Amino acid sequence: MNYSLFITGSPTASRACHTALDFAEALLSDGAHQIHGVFFYEEAVAIANALAMPPRDECNIRNEWVAFAKQHGVPLYICIAAALRRGELNEAEAKRHEVANHNLAEGFLLEGLGSLISLTSESDRMMRFK
């Protein structure tokens, strides 16, 4: 079965990002399923802020998602509108908005809601974590 994940909960104020990663790992463990992509929206876009540093004794959920994505070839999409609203920019958006720096972590892609619609139409199931 083909899945896509839609995450809206904050990586620091909720367990949404952690629960979604646990679900994704379990889903792919038997090889019977695949994940077309993960779309982070609303407060969940904070996961892609390269400048956010969790305490050393806590799980770095950003790094965990990036490692998962690399291992399984799953794209990690960040809603561009939600990211810009929260001051998260990739290099291209920083140039476009004439901002000196960018802070989108490597491994994440800024995309519009059209990508969420594509994920939904390509998948048998869309799972939301909030």
Specify whether 17 is catalytic: no
The backbone torsions φ and ψ at residue 102, rounded to the nearest 5 degrees and listed phi first, read: -130, 155
- Helix (H, G, I), strand (E, B), or coil: what is residue 2? strand
- Measured CA to CA, the distance from residue 117 to residue 94 in angstroms comes to 26
Sign for the pseudo-dihedral over CA of 42, 98, 111, 51: negative
Catalytic one of 61, 79, 83, 89: 79
Q: Which run of H or of E encompasses 108? A: strand 108-111
Write down the H helix ranges in the chain: 16-29, 61-72, 80-85, 91-96, 113-122
Active site residue ranges? 79
